[in-house]
Amino acid sequence: MKNTIFKISFAALLALTTVSCNDFLDVNVDPNSPVKENLNLDAKLPAALVTSANYEATTLNQIGGFWGGYWGTSNEGVTAFASLKNYNGLAIRDSRDGIPVWESTYANLFYYKEILDQANAEGAGYYAGIAKIMMAYHYFILVDFYNNVPFDDALKGSSMLHPRYDSGKDVYEKSIELINVGIEDIKAGALSPTKDDVLFAGNKSKWVQFGNTLKLRALLRQSAVTEQDAYIKQELRKIEQEGSGFISQDAAINPGYVNSTGKMDPFFETYYRNNAGVAVANHTNIRPTKFLIETYSLHNDPRLKQSYVAVNDDFKGVIFGHNTIEDQYAAGVTSAFKGPQENAGKPAGFLKSFNQSTMLISAAESYFLQAEGAARGWISGSLNDYYTKGVQASFDYYFNQNGYDIGAYILQDAVDINKADNKVERIITQKWLALAGINNIVAWHDFRRTGYPKFPNSAQATGNDVYPLRFMYPESEINNNNENVLKQGDNNILSSRVWWNVR
Amino acid sequence: MKNISLKLTFILLASLLINIVYGQEHVIVRGRIADKETGAPLQGASIIIKENERSGGAVSGATGGFMLRGHVGQTLQVTMLGYLNKQVSLKADEHDIVVFLDRDVRQLSEVVVTGALGVKRSSRELGTSAQSVSTEDLNLGKAVNPLLGLSSKVAGLRINATDLTTGKTDPGIQIRLRGTRSLNRSKNNPIYVVDGVPLPDITRINPNDIADITVLKGANAAALYGSEGVNGAVMITTKAGRSGGGEINFSNSTTFSNIYLLPPAQTSFGQGQNGLYSAVTAESWGDRYDGTERDFGLPINGVQPKRIYAAPSKDNRLKFFDTGVTAQNDLSFSGGDSKSAYFLSLQDVRIKGVIPGDKSSRTGVRFNGSRGFNKLTTSFNVNYVLFKNNTTSDGPWLSVYTQPANIDYKAARDWQDPNSPNHPLNWYTPVSSTRNPLFMADNNRNTSDQHILNSKLEFAYQFTDWLSVTNRTGYYLQHEDGRVTNRKLVSEVSTRNINGSVNDFGRTFNRINNDLVLNANKNFGDFSTKLLVGQNLRMDDIKDVNIEAKNLLFDDIFNQGSRTGELTGGTKITEFRSLSTYGELTVGYNNYLFLTLIGRNDKVSTLDPERNSYFSPGVSSSFVFTDAIAALKNSTILSYGRVYASFNRTGNVTLDPYRLNLTYSQAPGFPYGGLVGFIPSTKEPNRLLKPEFVTSYEGGLQLGFFNNRLNADIAYAYSDSDGQIFDAGMSSATGFKSTYVNAGRMVNNTFELTLNGTAIKTADMDLQLGLNFTYTNTQAKDLYAGELFNIFRQAYAIKDLPYPTLRMTDFLRENGKIVLDKNGDVLPSEDEVNLGTMVPPYLFGFNTSFRYKSFTLGLQLDARLGSWMYSEVIPRMYTAGTHPETVKYNREAFIMPNSMVRLDDGSIVDNKDVYSKGDKAWWDKYGKIQTTTAAKADYLKLREVYIGFNLPERLLARQNLVKRASVGVVGNNLFVIRHSSNTLGDPEALYNQTDGYTSFRQIPTSRSIGFNINMTF
């Protein structure tokens, strides 16, 4: 009797347990998101490129704006951007409230690494080449902020849990090699990207020129390191031998911006107006520095009135880091960024429209890089020619037309390159003026390298010569890879220099 | 088999024969067994005819019902664990009787606990620890969240209040039993079981519906639940019906709460920058308050508002808060007859939060019913709760602690007048993070309606008196319908702008849980056996939906249709399945020695099918030595003594669904028309994950002295969780932010002591005292790749140190002295320093209840010692200039006492002449040295106090309506003594599932006092 009941019960239990048990448990395929295997390269490349452009336009422009001498704040913004104003390295490295250049850049690098791996597996050399060049672009950013960073050990997931750091110099050279190989990949590669290449729409020669320009920029950044002379020459020869030259048009990204929150040109949306045309807080808080306005004025530069709003027919700037409320620095009496709404609905200098393209490297910068190369005797060609083309490209960009008349401007004593005692200073100064509000971050790097132009430091700095030299390693890295952080020694924002900063 | 059938036939024939012979005097008794105090039906009571024991007896079913044959004049004897025996003589006309049993409260040896699967067990046979809390103790402080009522009442259990960001309208808790087992912070909760059904959340259960809560401490006691029970179990039994006549109960409790323990703020310097007054800045870096009249903000319609420049004597920030009010009304009915019982309750809780405008309401109804049909017993419980919450975000309070001491928040409530300086367009400062907080509270609303339906359907069939089968189906539905709105505001000064937005969201959680359990209890001579075999099936389905418009056109139409730009939002579906089989065998010898074997096999959907099935075994034993050893049997000192021990190895999968593959999602902004763009997840997946295993041992000693007037419970427990599944943070340079791993070991050593005593017991007076103490040492061992592992912000797991350890950046020091740079600025230490554990290793709970005639007094004290905490509010107060330290040197340059200076050549010398600037930039950097935010978290708290008065019976005797009535005063958190270093806040108050961490979002803690009325009709 007992046995029978047990048997029946167990049989029933067993039946329930085994019947379609595996089907019952088979619910672990994510119904919400695709996995990597579902996606083609053309579904991944646009996201990686747009992320790169967003970062350049927003965070890097903000850091460069304040540390490159361009921007300060109005009374309304007196408490904003505190960590940049008082060079507070600890606040910047903070995981929660800091500026996560490290984290964002490595995340972006990983997008390209995924593309690279897939491209290699599928034999899509063109995509592989693009990924390599863009990875180099991001590694340069990392070194410029943090000096030694992981390269060989990087982007390997948990198989390389505590990535060792490579020296800043090595990362630079390895990245340049990435570009060299990337250019070859692109040239040889089939499967050309089309509209998913939101930078060059699959134009091979533009990609090659972009690679060369990026290389030239990286080589010039080490101009002060005398031991690198031979290396620089060798790499310049490779550019020459390659033969495609440098970009002559803006390398700018446009995925087809839409007038909707989060889908507009990120610079326009972050520093100007939202999709309803309402000004954002930054538009009240941020103002050009007195130094920027004075420098434009000194050169009788029409880009000033094209880019900033006049107050009583005059242009008024602020002092970066100034920490006192004074009537003269109220937002209403200082020059705001000029956009279409302040320009009779027409595109202004660097604020043109919600769907303006986001700049990675401008044609003007390319020419000024070449000009400096020529001035240093690194590359052939006419210094005057490169310099003039740089000014021309900048004016064309600011004034939204080709062939804007720069004749009078360029003949001024303060502008004419032939009348400059210090050619590099003049080139850098013109580059500084040309990149304002476009690629601000270049200014901080150039200042650390050359000391030009000599803009004032923060009013909150503890001494006249106190300028920020780098970012400290982020808290997330101290939390998760501290052993390697400690090996790098001092990383103080005011005392530790990146490798190319030997001035 | 043939023999058995023959025997059966014979017995049947024989009984028929007996019927014929004794037909005249024979009665068939149908009856019910119930608890005398609560009227609840009692299952498992054994009923025999005293005069004819060999005729066999009956066992009462789930509704307490039984059926038995007997003769008029014979005596029914009812025995039941935990109750006094009762005898009833059979009368000719009584075919329907209810037998009420008195509880045998003093008998420690007969304590009954609700074990796993809701099976009632005599505590003497348990080889594991369990502690019960009665409805009276639970509701001492009239907590709205039932678990909060458990705080400091159970040894080994730590409960922290966590409702801190929403004006305290939705009291939440963090619960930990015997330490922390998982490095995954959100996977340390015990399983919650209500009437035998595991539920994902019990926050919304009406505490007054609870008959008792039994805490099964640790994986051993909750072994039948396998993985889910790895952190122990909280077993809730709700009230059942009452046999014999209905009863109606009404109670009201209304309490008033006020904010206290705010981080102190300086009141010497007011708004401005660089020591200069500014009418338009919110930071307190201006000049000294001097009582003069000054411009305040900008002119409004050409008129300059003025204000006296002085801080009020009382903390101005308190004016920002309201007095919170919690009103609870309860009505319950219960009744039943011999076959059925029901309990019906209604509850309405209204909470007015401490932040103006915040409020919530909880309206619930519960019906518990049961009915017996011969051998089949059915019961059905259903509980529906509507919880409505209406709060603002964390923004308002965030802005209050950074604004100056002269802001008048009482006046700021009147912001609607467009000419008022408190209107958002006229507020003195245009900075977006320091708007008028009372306007912000009105302007940003977060409303949600949560519907919870929780039901259980149970069938139990008693095959014979020793074999039964139960099928219990639980259906749980939680649907939340929410909306977040921001009213549009447009100003000429863009920092004052607010984008109008509306986000509608919904979340539906469905759970079907089914347990099929076979129970067999049979005695063989001196041996008793209990066998339980069961199977569990679980289906969880979740769907989240949201639709948001980020830019609305109008300030009074909150609809996505009136927007500019594109809609955003999406859906997310999550499914989880598990299938388990389990069994438990208990063998007892002479009712003083017991051995239990237990096993459970789980199979879950979240792991790879190759590795998703795992087995968890366990063994436990209990020995009542006072019954076994003759010499102890009649001891006048030691009245009861028992030792027990257990061992378990429990598999566990803490992984959420869909973590085995690398998923992609569209990058922000995408798609742009036809252009798509996908980016990978920042979490690295891991296909090879397998279950983690927790090995736990425990041993305990239970003693009763002086006829059980003094009881002691001592337990030691050890758990070792190895190969943990968790989301391990990684260097961003790996390409991911974190990875899922099987790594890391955590070891817990817990010692618990509970003492309960009856100091005075007379007819008029009764004094009970209770003390519980817990020591927990949680240590991290063998971490994932290295000696140190970051958990959350400054919380670390560090090998061989208590978990979690507070580790942070200190000042650069030389021989303990702070080292400054040559400009007088502070410098960070090269590496971080370990301060100590962030969970208190020592917990003390003390309770007393005192009764003198009709007066009662109940007290609950709570002390927690030995841990550290830190607060994120502090650096923000330094930056804003509201922190008291910032005025220590009168805002002037100063030479820091006891400091050193690092010179250009790197040498470090005593500081004799280097001034620190002492301005905003200096203090801002000072506040970023993280050790300035830390404090010791020791505290002693008067958690709950209740003073009550029962209306004397002679007063009530003159009428028939009210049977019983009482009134009382109830207080919560009335005082706290903190460590002298702690000015940060309430150490008990946590931010969600963190430890020792006070978020800048968190509003300060509050204390409450109120009254309570209880009436029974």
At A446, which helix (H) or strand (E)? helix A441-450
Contact A471, A485 (CB under 8 A): no
| C-alpha R_g of chain B | 32
The DSSP secondary structure of B860-892, one letter per residue, reads: EEEEEES-EEEETHHHHHHHHT-SGGGGTTTTS
Is pLDDT at B285 greater than 60 in this prediction? Answer: yes
Is pLDDT at B651 greater than 50 in this prediction? Answer: yes
Cβ-defined contact of A261 to B551 (cutoff 8 Å): yes
Residue B523 in contact with partner chain A when CB distance is under 8 A: no
Report how far apart, in Å, the C-alpha atoms of B557 and of each of A276, A479, B497 are: 16, 46, 17
Which residues of A are less than 8 Å from B604 in CB distance? 25
Longest Cα separation, chain B: 116
pLDDT tens-digit map of B924-982: 999 999 999 999 999 999 999 999 999 887 787 777 788 889 999 999 999 999 999 99
Model pLDDT, residue B15 = 43
Pairing, β B939-950 against β B976-978 = antiparallel
Contact B663, B656 (CB under 8 A): no
| C-alpha to C-alpha distance for B77 and B88, rounded to whole angstroms | 7
Provide CB contacts within 8 A for B492, sequence distance 6+.
Answer: none
SS (H, E, C) B419-485: CCCCCCCCCCCCCHHHCCHHHHHHHEEEEEEEEEEEEEEEEEEEEECCEEEEEEEEEEEEEEEEEEE
For residue B53, name the pLDDT band (cuts at 50, 70, 90). low
Cβ-defined contact of A261 to B578 (cutoff 8 Å): no
Partner residue opposite B675 with nearest CB, options A91, A149, A195? A195
Contact B202, B146 (CB under 8 A): yes
Residue B13 in contact with partner chain A when CB distance is under 8 A: no
Is pLDDT at B390 greater than 70 in this prediction? Answer: yes
Closest-CA residue of chain A to B662: A35
Cβ-defined contact of A46 to B676 (cutoff 8 Å): yes
What the block records as the tokens of A294 is: 């004075």
Nearest chain B CA: its distance from A279 CA (Å): 5
Lowest mean pLDDT among A426-440, B641-655, B942-956: B942-956
Is pLDDT at B1010 greater than 90 in this prediction? Answer: yes
Is pLDDT at B544 greater than 90 in this prediction? Answer: yes
Model pLDDT, residue B21 = 40
| C-alpha to C-alpha distance for B731 and A235, rounded to whole angstroms | 32
Report which DSSP code applies to B896.
Answer: P
Is pLDDT at B23 greater than 90 in this prediction? Answer: no
Nearest chain A CA: its distance from B874 CA (Å): 13
Residue B15 in contact with partner chain A when CB distance is under 8 A: no
Report which DSSP code applies to A35.
Answer: B
By residue count, chain B amounts to 1017
pLDDT greater at residue B716 or residue B6: B716
Contact B114, B134 (CB under 8 A): no
Contact B962, B954 (CB under 8 A): no
Which residues of A are less than 8 Å from B550 in CB distance? 261-262
Mean pLDDT of chain B: 90
Cα torsion angle, B586, B590, B591, B594, sign: negative
Model pLDDT, residue B10 = 45
**Arithmetic mean of pLDDT, B404-417:** 95
Nearest chain B CA: its distance from A452 CA (Å): 26
For residue B787, name the pLDDT band (cuts at 50, 70, 90). confident
**In chain B, positions 574-603, which contact chain A (CB-CB < 8 Å)?**
575-579, 581, 603
| C-alpha to C-alpha distance for A451 and B849, rounded to whole angstroms | 78
**Arithmetic mean of pLDDT, B833-855:** 95
For residue A4, name the pLDDT band (cuts at 50, 70, 90). low
Closest-CA residue of chain A to B921: A86
Among A159, A254, A260, A283, most B C-beta atoms within 10 A, so best to mutate, is A260
Residue B499 in contact with partner chain A when CB distance is under 8 A: yes
Contact B531, B596 (CB under 8 A): no
| C-alpha to C-alpha distance for B261 and B976, rounded to whole angstroms | 9
Lowest mean pLDDT among A394-403, A438-447, B155-164, B372-381: B155-164
For residue B42, name the pLDDT band (cuts at 50, 70, 90). confident
Which residues of A are less than 8 Å from B4 in CB distance? 1
| C-alpha to C-alpha distance for B153 and B207, rounded to whole angstroms | 15
**Arithmetic mean of pLDDT, A20-33:** 87
**Arithmetic mean of pLDDT, A301-319:** 97
Model pLDDT, residue A152 = 98
The pTM score is 0.90
Cβ-defined contact of B579 to A47 (cutoff 8 Å): no
Is pLDDT at B90 greater than 50 in this prediction? Answer: yes
What the block records as the tokens of B777 is: 């040492």
pLDDT tens-digit map of B585-608: 999 999 999 999 999 999 999 999
Residue B676 in contact with partner chain A when CB distance is under 8 A: yes
For residue B19, name the pLDDT band (cuts at 50, 70, 90). very low
Is pLDDT at B1017 greater than 70 in this prediction? Answer: yes
Find, among B508, B514, B378, B388, the residue nearest to B453 by Cα. B508
pLDDT greater at residue B648 or residue B32: B648
pLDDT tens-digit map of A208-241: 999 999 999 999 999 999 999 999 999 999 999 9
Cα torsion angle, A258, A263, A269, A275, sign: positive
Q: What is the share, in percent, of chain B residues with pLDDT greater than 70?
A: 95
What the block records as the tokens of A315 is: 């242009």
**Arithmetic mean of pLDDT, B864-882:** 96
Partner residue opposite A285 with nearest CB, options B495, B573, B672? B495
pLDDT tens-digit map of A363-372: 999 999 999 9
Lowest mean pLDDT among A64-78, A154-168, B89-103, B315-329: B89-103
For residue A248, name the pLDDT band (cuts at 50, 70, 90). very high
**Arithmetic mean of pLDDT, B482-490:** 96
Cβ-defined contact of A462 to B824 (cutoff 8 Å): yes
Partner residue opposite A284 with nearest CB, options B493, B575, B578? B493
Peptide bond into B804 cis (omega under 30): yes
pLDDT tens-digit map of B738-756: 999 998 999 999 999 999 9
Is pLDDT at B570 greater than 90 in this prediction? Answer: yes
Report which DSSP code applies to A60.
Answer: I
Model pLDDT, residue B54 = 61
For residue B678, name the pLDDT band (cuts at 50, 70, 90). very high
pLDDT tens-digit map of A36-54: 899 999 999 999 999 999 9
Expressed in percent and rounded to 5, the helix, strand and coil fractions of chain B are 15, 50, 40
Which residues of B are less than 8 Å from A164 in CB distance? none
Nearest chain B CA: its distance from A410 CA (Å): 38
Residue B798, beta-bridge partner list = B788
Among B5, B498, B666, B732, most A C-beta atoms within 10 A, so best to mutate, is B732
**In chain B, positions 436-475, which contact chain A (CB-CB < 8 Å)?**
463, 467, 469
Q: What is the share, in percent, of chain B residues with pLDDT greater than 90?
A: 71
Longest Cα separation, chain A: 114
Which residues of B are less than 8 Å from A154 in CB distance? 733-735
What the block records as the tokens of A210 is: 């972009």
**Arithmetic mean of pLDDT, B180-196:** 92
Cβ-defined contact of A91 to B663 (cutoff 8 Å): no
Is pLDDT at B642 greater than 80 in this prediction? Answer: yes
Closest-CA residue of chain B to A461: B921
For residue B258, name the pLDDT band (cuts at 50, 70, 90). very high
DSSP alpha helix (H) spans, A243-319: 266-271, 281-285, 290-298, 303-307
Model pLDDT, residue A7 = 52
Model pLDDT, residue B94 = 62
**Residue matched to tokens 């009762």:** B86
Measured in whole angstroms, the distance separating CA B292 from the mean position of its chain's CA atoms is 51
Residue at A259: amino acid letter: N
Measured in whole angstroms, the distance separating CA B959 from the mean position of its chain's CA atoms is 42
